[in-house]
Amino acid sequence: MPKLATEPNRLVAAMVYDGLCAFEFGIVAEVFSLKRPEMGDDWYRFVTCSEHPGPLSTNSGLRVEAERDLDALAEAGTIVIPGWRSDGSIPSPALREALLAARGRGARFVTICSGAFLLASIGLLDGRRATTHWRYAERLRAAYPGVEVDADVLYVDDGDVLTSAGSAAGIDLLLHLVRKDFGPEVANSVARRMVVAPHRSGGQAQFVERPVPRHQGSQMATVLDAVKQRPARAWAIADMARMAAMSERTFVRRFRDATGLSPGAWVIEQRVAVACELLETTDLPVEAIAMHTGMGSAANLRLNFRGNLGISPTTYRDRFRRDPAIAS
């Protein structure tokens, strides 16, 4: 007997609460609530919901009011938690019951930053790998030992439960979600409208607060600036370490502390950024751009492009080529 086709549930419900994280909520609304007529009727539908009626405060002084109560969670295909209290507060029985019921019928959960604390408090992260802002990671790990907390990534996709690190990492996770639901072309179109990078891998390290020691800061800054100014140069670790007046081992360790990446990965990221600019603003062939950015060959450029952005240089140019006649 043939399987019956089922339409995906595109209703996204965002939880709002007293003390709402305004930035985290804002990026959720930006991705899911804006009208995108080019997507037709298949695009997301968006609703805000809350346990409490009436105006709610945010952490920035704004006031918000939800459209729906917790009944919306019974209808949503995706439930987003844009931050939450990280002080160990236990959700009310009504909220707990509504979230667990949604889980039972197969809803997908997405958390941004401290939103992981809400799911952890009701057991939905037990036995799962998850992340949160690096500042909260130890707190989450101590409060909920059943959660496999990974503080070294931007986001974790565990199928029907997805968690992200602090604030802007939520953008990466939301674009990843769009990519899963609609494919890379649509996700990159959304990213372009938001003026953000089309794709950052979830495994990329968070930019944690482990600054380069003060007495070495100027040397490291000199290296970073030099690479940005001359990305096509063959940047060997020995040369960069010498410029920073460090041993190679010390340089690699402090470079990763400062940028979240290895020197080689960071240099490639800068080269890809320059290649993006050239693809957007010039008619140079891919081979010439590869040489200009230090990637040597078109094949190497394509490899690094797919590794960093998930698309080919040609696709990027087709999608993001700047038209001076059209306002950006």
Q: What is the pLDDT of residue 198?
A: 57
- Predicted confidence band of residue 41 (pLDDT cuts 50, 70, 90): confident
pTM summary value:
0.66
Q: What is the pLDDT of residue 26?
A: 95
| Pairwise pLDDT comparison (161 vs 36), residue with the higher score | 161
Q: How far apart are alpha carbons 8 and 24 in whole angstroms? A: 25
Residues paired with 47 in a beta bridge: 13
Q: What is the pLDDT of residue 74?
A: 96
Q: How far apart are alpha carbons 173 and 155 in whole angstroms? A: 6
Q: Where are the domains of the chain?
A: 11-194, 213-328
HSE toward the beta carbon, residue 95, CA cutoff 13 A:
18
| Pairwise pLDDT comparison (185 vs 164), residue with the higher score | 164
- What percent of the chain has pLDDT above 90? 56
pLDDT digits (tens, 9 = 90+) for 90-143: 899 999 999 999 999 999 999 999 999 999 999 999 999 999 998 999 999 999
Q: How far apart are alpha carbons 305 and 80 in whole angstroms? A: 30
| CATH number belonging to the domain at 11-194, selected among 3.40.50.10330, 3.40.50.300, 3.40.250.10, 3.40.50.880 | 3.40.50.880
Q: What is the pLDDT of residue 35?
A: 86
Q: What is the pLDDT of residue 277?
A: 84
Q: What is the pLDDT of residue 215?
A: 38
Q: What is the pLDDT of residue 322?
A: 58
Alpha carbon 204 to chain centroid distance? 10
Specify burial of residue 84 (Cβ count, 10 A radius: 0-12, 13-18, 19+).
Answer: buried
| Pairwise pLDDT comparison (86 vs 292), residue with the higher score | 292
Q: Per-residue pLDDT for 301 more than 90? A: yes
Q: Per-residue pLDDT for 1 more than 60? A: no
Count helices and strands in the chain by DSSP H and E runs: 13, 10
pLDDT digits (tens, 9 = 90+) for 252-285: 998 888 877 899 998 998 898 889 889 888 899 9
Beta strand ranges found along the chain (DSSP E): 11-15, 45-49, 56-57, 63-64, 78-82, 108-112, 129-130, 148-149, 155-157, 161-164
- Predicted confidence band of residue 184 (pLDDT cuts 50, 70, 90): confident
Q: What is the pLDDT of residue 199?
A: 52
- Predicted confidence band of residue 200 (pLDDT cuts 50, 70, 90): low
**CATH 1.10.10.60 is held by the domain 213-328:** yes
Same fold, 11-194 and 213-328: no
